[in-house]
């Protein structure tokens, strides 16, 4: 109204007359248009939108700047001049072991599911294509891949890998694929998820090849007790090492044992790192999403193998459990199915943590099938985990600080039920070696000689399942992913919350996200360096390769309970806990871009943006 009064007051009398004065009509006619009112201010973005925008910036930076052709290792200095996975890595490498390239592909796909933003799918697709490019011709995956070609990869093995004292799986290049550390399992799951997302034929081919790899690698009926199991690596390389050198055996204490006690461990039936459980899980996902009911036979054979491989000492009936690996064939006069030694710091023994994992697996196999044979021998294994002779004394932390918080020994000698402890002498792979005896002190730090097991929880779950009525069992099995009669969807998220497990695959199951408060989301967003990337204290650093280490005997003790040996050892170690000897100096862990930290923060923001209740 004020604008109109002002406009009228400056008009001349002639103009007023032309407009008809002020009487009647439709009101005054103005000589210029009235500007429209200013637009209403845009509403402030929601906290979820702000978090999604930050997520997009972080993913774009990782995809466009940090990755190499879509592939990732584990850790990067912010200027990208230092890159390493489990060991020092070339810039042209990608690491398949979690939390490497496959894990990054999963979190990108999770972000796409949370937001619907195509930029996240683009990142997932680029990373998954890198994983597909790294797939071995057999259909599985090696720990690492080098985009610079085979010669570059072999050079890495012959230099960096060869000198990693404690990383025996990287000291030799076999040119095949591995089930270890969920390397093939997590990559296979990513290929399956990407195919299901948009039916891309690249991923259908990769998924089919992964299925072929797992079924081809499975031991057949000609292996008897080993039928249904899997080796650590496939196809077998006949040049796989069968022993480790003992450069200075005079340094072994009296009564100690050493070496790979059962030869080439890549041929053994492998339970280490839950190889069997991971393979069964992936095949189960294929049954429920692709309708591959033919794979149920492979799954059942594997379940039966695990149940059959439970070993009970003929000399000590109360000793019953599993080793990291079991012989797949007669070896050194020992029968197939016997517990086997593996790497030189994994003695022939029963392993408490592997036994706990296999008990949990078999409890799960009962829920999948309703077959009580999977429960029938578990009481013996649970009772064994309660054995007084394998428990640590109350003052274990005083005897050995590295065992604080652990309640049982890792390795238990066959037939005696006495703990075995792993040690080492020397300063590098060329003058040192591992050995094991019954001395609880001065154990190695990178592979704990103690574990935390919970037989009471296992007992509770076994009792619950044994108490189920047949109608309850039938109702449970009806929802099993192995009983799917039509395609079922996988959980929405695979990396944002936790690892997907068998219970998440049952009909009606929901993998819930944790509650993430807005204040936490704001803190995560604010931590982005220049708004683009996160850094965190890197878990471990490495010595750069500088040639083979000395072969002269080292009789000191500076390296016996540390992650790394002398400066020629390329094994990773924490910067704040180096050997207490020059030239090592204790220092703060440097701030690096790490895939593990990135995935963790991404997961929290994804749970905040699009929670699953």
pLDDT in tens, 255-305: 999 999 999 999 999 999 999 999 999 999 999 999 999 999 999 999 999
**Does residue 14 carry a pLDDT above 50?**
no
What is the pLDDT at residue 32? 67
pLDDT of the residue at 303: 98
Beta strand pairing call for 75-76 and 83-84: antiparallel
Question: How much helix, strand and coil, in percent to the nearest 5, is found in the chain?
Answer: 40, 10, 50
pLDDT of 25 > 90? The answer is no
Q: What is the pLDDT of residue 39?
A: 84
Structure tokens at 459: 């007992």
Q: Which pLDDT does position 73 carry in this prediction? A: 98
In this prediction, residue 18 carries a pLDDT of: 35
Task: Determine the 3-state secondary structure of 489 from DSSP.
Answer: coil
Structure tokens at 116: 């619907």
Report the percentage of the chain scoring pLDDT > 90: 93
**Eight-class DSSP state of 161:** G
Mean pLDDT of 186-208: 98
Give pLDDT tens digits for 125-134: 999 999 999 9
Q: Is the separation of the CB atoms in 234 and 213 below 8 Å?
A: yes
Does residue 82 surpass a pLDDT of 80? yes
Q: What pLDDT is recorded for position 21?
A: 40
Confidence at residue 379, expressed as pLDDT on a 0 to 100 scale: 98
pTM of the model: 0.93
Residue 13 pLDDT > 80 = no
The pLDDT of residue 29 is 52
Per-residue pLDDT, 19: 38
pLDDT at position 41 is 81
Q: What is the pLDDT of residues 159-190, one digit of tens each?
A: 999 999 999 999 999 999 999 999 999 999 99
pLDDT at position 4 over 60:
no
Quote the percentage of the chain above a pLDDT of 70: 95
Q: Is pLDDT at 549 greater than 50 in this prediction?
A: yes
pLDDT value for 43? 82
Exposed e or buried b for every residue in 304-343, given b needs 16+ CB within 10 A?
bbbbbbbbebeeeeebbbbbbbbbbbebeeeebbbbbbbb
**Tokens 């049982």 belong to residue:** 408
Cα 298 → chain centroid:
24
Mean per-residue pLDDT of the chain: 94
Nearest to 548 by CA among 569, 564, 565: 569
What pLDDT is recorded for position 360?
Answer: 98
Residue 367 backbone class (left: φ over 0; alpha: ψ -120 to 50; beta: rest): alpha
Average pLDDT over residues 537-559: 97
pLDDT(482) > 80: yes
Average pLDDT estimate for 55-74: 98
Q: Is the pLDDT of residue 20 over 60?
A: no
What mean pLDDT comes out for the span 384-413? 98
| Structural domains of the chain, with CATH | 1-32 (no CATH), 47-234+265-341+350-401+450-520+593-609 (1.50.10)
What number is the average pLDDT over the span 208-217? 98
Q: What is the pLDDT of residues 344-396, one digit of tens each?
A: 999 999 999 999 999 999 999 999 999 999 999 999 999 999 999 999 999 99
Grade residue 31 by pLDDT with cuts at 50, 70 and 90.
low
Per-residue pLDDT at 17 exceeds 60: no
134/185 Cα distance (integer angstroms): 14
Per-residue b or e along 570-585, where b marks 16 or more CB atoms closer than 10 Å to that residue's CB: bbbbbbeebbeeeebe
The arithmetic mean of pLDDT across residues 563-585, rounded, is: 98
Please give the torsion angle defined by the CA atoms of residues 286, 289, 293 and 294, in that order, rounded to the nearest 10 degrees: -40
Can you tell me the mean pLDDT for 394-399? 98
């Amino acid at each position: 109204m004020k604008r109109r009064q002002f406009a009228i007051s400056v008009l001349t009398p002639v103009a007023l007359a032309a407009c008809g004065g002020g009487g009647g009509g439709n009101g005054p006619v103005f000589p210029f248009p009235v500007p429209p009112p200013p637009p209403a201010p845009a509403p402030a973005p929601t906290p979820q939108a702000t978090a999604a925008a930050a997520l997009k910036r972080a993913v774009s930076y990782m995809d466009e700047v940090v990755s190499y052709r879509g592939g990732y290792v584990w850790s990067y200095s912010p200027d990208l001049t230092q890159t390493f996975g489990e060991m020092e890595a070339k810039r042209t490498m990608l690491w398949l072991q979690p939390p490497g390239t496959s894990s990054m592909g999963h979190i990108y796909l999770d972000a796409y599911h949370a937001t619907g933003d195509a930029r996240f799918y683009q990142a997932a697709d680029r990373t998954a294509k890198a994983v597909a490019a790294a797939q071995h011709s057999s259909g599985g995956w090696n720990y690492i891949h080098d985009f610079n070609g085979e010669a570059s990869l072999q050079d890495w093995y012959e230099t960096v890998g060869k000198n990693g004292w404690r990383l025996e799986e990287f000291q030799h290049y076999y040119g095949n694929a591995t089930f270890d550390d969920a390397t093939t399992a997590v990559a296979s799951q990513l290929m399956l998820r990407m195919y299901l997302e948009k039916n891309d034929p690249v991923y259908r081919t990769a998924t089919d090849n992964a299925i072929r790899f797992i079924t081809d690698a499975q031991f057949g009926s000609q292996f008897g007790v080993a039928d249904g199991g899997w080796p650590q690596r496939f196809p077998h390389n006949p040049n796989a090492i069968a022993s480790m050198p003992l450069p200075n055996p005079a340094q072994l204490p009296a009564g100690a044992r050493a070496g790979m006690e059962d030869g080439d461990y890549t041929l053994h039936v492998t339970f280490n790192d839950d190889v069997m459980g991971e393979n069964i899980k992936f095949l189960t996902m294929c049954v429920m999403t692709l309708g591959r009911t033919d794979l149920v036979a492979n799954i059942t054979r594997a379940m039966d193998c695990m149940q059959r491989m439970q070993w009970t000492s003929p000399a000590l009936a109360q000793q019953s459990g599993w080793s990291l690996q079991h012989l797949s064939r007669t070896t050194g006069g020992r029968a197939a199915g016997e517990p086997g030694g593996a790497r030189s710091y994994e003695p022939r023994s029963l392993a408490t943590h592997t036994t706990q994992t296999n008990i949990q697996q078999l409890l799960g196999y009962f829920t999948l099938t309703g077959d009580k044979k999977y429960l029938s021998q578990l009481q013996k294994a649970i009772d064994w985990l309660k054995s007084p002779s394998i428990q640590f004394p109350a003052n274990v932390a005083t005897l050995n600080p590295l065992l604080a918080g652990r309640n049982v020994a890792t390795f238990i000698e066959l037939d005696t039920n006495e703990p075995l402890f792993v040690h080492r002498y020397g300063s590098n792979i060329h003058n040192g070696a591992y050995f094991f005896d019954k001395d609880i002190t001065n154990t190695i730090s990178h592979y704990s000689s103690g574990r935390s097991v919970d037989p009471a929880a296992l007992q509770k779950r076994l009792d619950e399942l044994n108490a189920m009525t047949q109608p309850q069992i039938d109702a449970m099995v009806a929802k099993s992913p192995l009983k799917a009669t039509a395609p079922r969807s996988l959980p929405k998220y695979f990396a944002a919350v936790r690892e997907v497990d068998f219970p998440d695959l049952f009909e009606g199951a929901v993998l819930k996200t944790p509650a993430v408060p807005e204040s936490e989301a704001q803190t995560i967003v604010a931590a982005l360096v220049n708004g683009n990337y996160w850094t965190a204290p890197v878990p471990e650093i490495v010595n750069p390769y500088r040639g083979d280490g000395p072969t002269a005997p080292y009789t000191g003790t500076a390296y016996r309970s540390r992650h790394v040996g002398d400066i020629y050892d390329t094994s990773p170690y924490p910067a704040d806990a180096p050997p207490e000897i020059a030239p090592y100096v204790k220092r703060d862990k440097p701030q690096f871009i790490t895939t593990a930290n990135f995935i963790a923060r991404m997961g929290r923001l994804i749970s905040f943006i699009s929670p699953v209740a």
